[in-house]
Structure 1
Amino acid sequence: MWIVNANYPGGSEAYFAAYASVWYQTMGSAASVVLSLLSDGLLIYRCFIVWNNWHVVVIPSILYLASGALGITLCYVSGSQSANFFAGLASQLGVAYSATVIGLNFMVSSLIIGRILFVAKRLQATLGRAVSQTYTGAASIIVESALPYTLFGIAYVVSLGIGSGISILFLSFYVMFTCISPQMIILRVLMRRGWTRDRSALGTSSFPIGTRPIEIQEQFNYGSEGTSAINLRSLGKSNASSSDLDKV
């Protein structure tokens, strides 16, 4: 558009309009939809882990299915002959699809943040603020809830809805965090700092009177025995014990 066809009649804008529905544009849209489905699926699963209750994810799951259907329809319409992703029916479907996905992100992120803050309040009363921050601090809230992913998504769908050209900028950041946020969650789990169903249950459990804080801390820190977690520190040691390998 900018180099090979710089002399196209009408300029780069006319070239873009003429080839907006070319196959590699449709492939890019499809890749974005698949990426969002994978990221949102992981986010819903993490919401289930943090809450340890499948009832919480019923509505997000319905929105997830709706976003998948809208995404497939959007790829079909925008890939039709002489169609344009940023104009006509494709543009309207794009707004509906983006609003559904961002609404899903906002709902799940809010559920995760609310749950972590609730557990943090209980843990701070028992273990103290310094100890509980490992799993309930700002880093935990930002990573577990994929907060940057949600915030840039909101900025994108608002700017897209009002027809602002800056939506392209917010879309770029949104797609980047669609990739980065799930990786941060996975890394946090591998470092054994991520939430597990056992930790979620312990965080809201009532402990017997007389239980020492150090005992509660040990149960919370190692409440994920048997889960798929890897202690990254042990990977750098040549004399890793068999017990560490059993945790993989």
Structure 2
Amino acid sequence: MTPNGISLDMASILGLALESVLYGISLLLFAGTIWVLFTRDSPKRVLACKLVVSLALFALSTAYWIVDVIRCIEGLVLYRDSYLGGPNAFFADRAQWTFAVQNLLYLLQTLVGDGVVIFRCYVAWQSWKVVALPLVLWVIVAATGAGTVYTLIHNKDGENDIFASETGLLITPFLVSSLVANVFSTSLLVYRLWVVGRRAERLMRQSIGYPHRSMIAPLARIFADAGLLYSITLLAVLLTFVTQNQGLYVTLDLIMPIISITFYMVILRVETRTTSGNITRGSGRAPRDSNTTQTLEHRPEGGGSSGKYSSMSTMLTVLFPAS
């Protein structure tokens, strides 16, 4: 099958434009994440882990964006007349250093992003057996990704054979393994939150007349939203590759900042949810002994005004002792 879709120069321009928008959004979310991490009272080990991952994703997505800008400048301005086929020939040349660096950065970003999703699933279940399959898939992603980068760099036969069978044997399992690992881990995580949330809600309703609305449902939606966003983007990458559509390069540019965005989004939304004054939405404050209570308040220690985290935060501590 002959590669189809938009031209390579158009794909590079469109990819950089859309990537820049998403990268700008990720910068704002990164700044918010750093602020949240240093203003919330968290264990040092937890803070260090989240900070390292945040900085790693920021560094990788920033490096990718910078290399992408350089690649576009070289292909469209500096070396546009150096190739017989013009900019299209430049972007099809896998010998360019920018091509190799971009593929390596994408591999590293994928490994970090997938690793975070798998780790969250493990922490929720506290069982290596549950995440055995995602871990195997993660290893496959690492192996096939490294093999793809090596093949694309060292095999100089042909101009633009990223869709050739040789690379397809590596790229297809790379994308499929990453997609399955994310869907599987996210589904198990959301299911765990739902089950434990229902159980805790039932116990609290019996003891203090807690309202019928699930306090853990918003948390489950947060992780589901992040997983869905990443999985849809990854599916778009897979479909463009399988159909040999050169829009693949656009989707690859998009997925880099999206991986960062999903991570920052989870931290910001969870912290906002767990430190808010009200956990459930209602029409007002009902008596404390009422079975129709609509609001669960903070209860400060020693009569102070600051107070501890609400019951959802306690639930987070139970579910995520490492977060």
Same fold (TM over 0.5): yes
Report the equivalent of 1:75. 149
1:2 is paired with a residue whose SS is helix
* Structure 1: runs of 5+ lacking an equivalent: 195-211, 230-248
Is 1:151 the counterpart of 2:225? The answer is no
Shift of 1:228: 6.0
CA distance in 2, matches of 1:141, 1:130: 18
TM-score (norm 1): 0.70
Q: Deviations over 1:102-155 (max 9, x none)?
A: 121121122222223333444454443545156545335324xx3211121112
The Cα shift of 1:90 comes to 2.5
Distance (whole Å) between structure 1 residues aligned to residue 222 and residue 212 of structure 2: 14
Q: Which residue of 2 aligns with 1:243?
A: none
What is the TM-score normalised by the length of structure 2?
A: 0.55
Residue 31 of structure 1, CA deviation: 0.9
Q: Structure 1 103/123 Cα, relative in aligned 2: closer, same or farther at 3 Å? A: same
SS of the counterpart of 1:96?
helix
Give 3-state SS (helix, strand or coil) of 1:132's partner. coil
Distance 1:57 1:82, change over 3 A: same
2: distance between equivalents of 1:134 and 1:106?
19
> SS where residue 131 of structure 2 aligns?
helix
2:88 is aligned to 13
Distance, in Å, in 2 between the alignment partners of 1:74 and 1:218 is: 48
Gaps of 5+ in 2: 1-74, 276-290, 297-308
Q: For 1:1-248, list aligned pairs within 5 A.
A: 1-7=75-81, 8-17=83-92, 19-82=93-156, 84=160, 86-88=162-164, 89-125=166-202, 126=205, 127-130=210-213, 132-133=215-216, 135-136=218-219, 138-143=221-226, 146-188=227-269, 193=274, 221-223=313-315, 224=317, 227=321
The CA distance in 1 between the partners of 2:148 and 2:132, in whole Å, is 24
1:199 equivalent in structure 2: none
Tell me, what secondary structure is at the counterpart of 2:80?
coil
Deviation readout 1:4-56 (Å, 9 max, x if unpaired) = 22223122222222x32322311111111111111111111100122232221
In structure 2, C-alpha distance between the alignment counterparts of 1:37 and 1:65, rounded to whole Å: 9
Q: In structure 2, what is the Cα distance between the partners aligned to 1:176 and 1:218?
A: 32
Please say if residues 29 and 75 of structure 1, whose CA atoms lie closer than 8 Å, have aligned partners that are also in contact. yes
Q: Is the 8 A contact 1:33 1:68 kept in 2?
A: yes
Counterpart of 1:65 in structure 2: which amino acid? V
Change (3 A) 1:85 1:46: farther
> What is the CA deviation profile of residues 50-80 of structure 1, one whole-angstrom value per residue up to 9, with x for unaligned ones?
2232221011111111111111111111111
Q: 1:142 to 1:128 in 2, by over 3 A?
A: farther
Provide closer, same or farther for how the CA distance between residues 90 and 21 of structure 1 changes in structure 2, counting only shifts above 3 A. Answer: farther
Post-superposition, which runs of at least 4 consecutive aligned residues in structure 1 deviate over 6 A? none
Q: Which amino acid aligns with 2:129?
A: H
Does the CA-based 8 Å contact 2:194-2:216 persist in structure 1? no
RMSD: 3.2
Does structure 1 conserve the Cα–Cα contact (< 8 Å) formed by 2:216 and 2:312? Answer: no
SS of residue paired to 2:154: coil
Q: Which amino acid aligns with 1:148?
A: L
8 Å CA contact 1:119–1:136 kept in 2: the answer is no
Aligned partner of residue 10 in structure 1, secondary structure: coil
Residue 85 to residue 123, structure 1, CA distance change in 2 (3 Å) = farther
1:202 counterpart residue number: none
Q: For residues 85 and 114 of structure 1, what CA distance do their matches in structure 2 show?
A: 41
Q: Distance in 2 between matches of 1:93 and 1:87?
A: 10
